[in-house]
Copies of this chain bind each other. A is one copy, B any other.
Amino acid sequence: MGSSAPLDFYFDFSSPYGYLASHRIDEIAARHGRTVNWRPFLLGVVFRETGQTPLKGQKMRGPYHEHDFERSARRLNIPFNPPPNFPFPAQAASRGFYWLADADPGRAVAFAKAVYRASFGEGQNVTDIDRLVDIAQSVGADPAAFRAGLADPAIKEWLKTETDDAIARGVFGSPFVFVDDEPFWGHDRLEQVEEWLKCGGW
Which residues from chain A sit less than 8 Å from chain B, CB to CB?
46, 49-52, 58-61, 63-64, 67-68, 71, 74-75, 167, 170-173, 183, 185-186, 188-189, 191-192, 202
Contacts and interface: CB of A to CB of B under 8 A. Distances in A.
Given A61-B172, A75-B192, 6 more contacts: A49-B60, A50-B60, A50-B61, A51-B59, A61-B173, A191-B191
A97 B185 CA distance: 33
A167 to B, nearest CB: 8
Contacts of A59: 49-51, 172
B74 A202 contact: yes
8 contacts: A49-B60, A51-B59, A64-B170, A64-B185, A71-B202, A186-B188, A188-B189, A191-B191
Most buried by B among A46, A58, A60, A202: A60
